[in-house]
């Protein structure tokens, strides 16, 4: 089995993604590390504990960073504001947390201990801001060089959602993204960004099917998506929802869902950390050009997915 750590800020779409990862027999989910992002750390941790209970999963939840690198370093403290996922992070739904699954170990220490125990074997699926990953790199870079792969939901080559040019996870903590992709010169980092997630959609019909035909879990997934539906309508006048984080997990499970010819392999990815372009990813494909500028290959960027195969794979996996 593949050894997996899920680093996440649940989050409506994170919930779909975690449920899929926990349902997949090929994954050994060693732990769920939590980061603030969609909502504050505490509600995100509670949501993760609720998902673990719902799935009766045999893994623990490790609380991590309470804000972005910059927010953590600001003496004045910070406030997280979010509307996209509702106050609880799951729209109007509150899950009952399994408090016995909450670990006292900090997410960063859990990541480092786990990678040390299984060098070159651990894959991290990153579904939120990259703060925990950056803190782990700052604490012990050599150990983080022994991560096998990072699958990252974030960024966009041609699209933004938090701003016209920046995706939310990368916008929230661009410094952490920079530090993580610097490690991409040594390890494999696969970006699953908005270019690919926006090719998929869970439609109103799909949500109806989840609610009526897919048992308790289907009902919960459909209910938590209601808030997302309102947001999608408000922002982009679309009735279906894009479950970004699920696309990252399904791609990690089966990369053949993506069109192999449109993975940008061995490209250079840089991120803007300030100003109006804060959080924008700049992906350069041509090595001859970026090498000239002293830049190295640090990423693979997935650009296309078969949306029908994606949806079928998710439904078959979670509701066989």
The residues that touch ligand BDR, with contacts defined as CB under 6 A, are 11, 13-14, 38, 84, 127-128, 153, 161, 167-169, 244-245
Tell me which of 9, 13, 14, 109 is the catalytic residue.
9
Chain positions 245 to 264 lying near Ca ion, rule: CB under 5 A, are: 245
Instruction: Please confirm, yes or no, whether 9 is among the known catalytic residues.
Output: yes
User: Of 253, 318, 233, which Cα lies nearest the Cα of 16?
Assistant: 318
The reply on whether position 11 binds Ca ion by CB under 5 A is yes
H or E stretch at 50:
helix 41-55
Q: How far is the CB of 148 from ligand BDR (least distance, A)?
A: 22
Q: Which does 131 bind (CB under 5 to 8 A by kind): ligand BDR, Ca ion, none?
A: none
Q: 85, 195, 244, 245: which one is catalytic?
A: 244
Mark whether 244 is an active-site residue: yes
Measured from the CB atom, the residue of 130 and 210 that comes closer to ligand BDR is 130
Which of the listed partners (Ca ion, ligand BDR, none) does 7 bind, with a CB threshold of 5 to 8 Å by partner kind? none
Is 127 or 263 the residue whose CB approaches ligand BDR more closely? Answer: 127
Candidate residues 128, 160, 184, 240; the one interacting with Ca ion per rule CB under 5 A: 128
Q: Closer to ligand BDR by CB, 11 or 97: give it.
A: 11
Residue 246 CB partners (closer than 8 Å, separation 6+): 13, 16, 17, 20, 314
Eight-state DSSP code of residue 96: P
Contacts of range 308-317, beta carbons closer than 8 Å, 24 or more positions apart: 309/257, 310/200, 310/247, 310/250, 310/257, 311/200, 311/202, 311/206, 313/250, 313/253, 313/254, 313/257, 314/16, 314/20, 314/246, 314/250, 317/20, 317/23, 317/24, 317/250, 317/253
Residue positions annotated with a catalytic role:
9, 244
Q: What residue ranges bind Ca ion (CB under 5 A)?
A: 9, 11, 14, 127-128, 245
């Amino acid at each position: 089995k593949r050894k997996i750590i899920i680093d996440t800020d649940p989050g409506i779409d994170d919930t779909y993604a975690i449920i899929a990862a926990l349902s997949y027999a090929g994954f050994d989910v060693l732990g769920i590390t939590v980061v603030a992002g969609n909502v504050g750390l505490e509600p995100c941790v509670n949501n993760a504990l609720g998902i673990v209970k719902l799935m009766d999963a045999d893994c623990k939840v490790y609380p991590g960073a309470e804000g972005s690198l910059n927010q953590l370093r600001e003496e004045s403290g910070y406030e997280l504001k979010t509307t996209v996922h509702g106050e609880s992070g799951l729209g109007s739904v509150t899950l009952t947390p399994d408090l016995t699954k909450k670990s006292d170990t900090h997410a960063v220490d859990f990541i480092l201990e786990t990678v040390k125990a299984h060098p070159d074997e651990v894959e991290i699926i990153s579904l939120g801001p990259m703060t925990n990953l950056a803190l782990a790199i700052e604490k012990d870079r050599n150990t983080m060089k022994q991560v096998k792969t990072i699958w990252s939901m974030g960024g966009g080559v041609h699209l933004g959602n938090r701003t016209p040019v920046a995706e939310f996870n990368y916008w929230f903590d661009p410094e952490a993204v920079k530090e993580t992709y610097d490690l991409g010169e040594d390890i494999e980092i696969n970006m699953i960004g908005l270019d690919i997630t926006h090719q998929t959609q869970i439609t109103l019909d799909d949500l109806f099917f989840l609610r009526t035909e897919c048992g308790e879990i289907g009902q919960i997934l459909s209910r938590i998506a209601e808030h997302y539906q309102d947001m999608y309508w408000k922002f982009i006048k679309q009735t279906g929802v894009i479950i970004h984080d699920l696309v990252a997990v399904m791609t990690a499970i089966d990369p053949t869902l993506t069109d192999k010819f449109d993975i940008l392999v061995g490209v250079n990815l840089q991120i803007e950390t300030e100003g109006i372009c804060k959080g924008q990813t700049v992906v350069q494909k041509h090595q001859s050009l970026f090498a000239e500028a002293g830049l190295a290959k640090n990423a693979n960027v997935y650009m296309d997915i078969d949306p029908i195969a994606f949806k079928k794979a998710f439904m078959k996996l979670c509701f066989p």
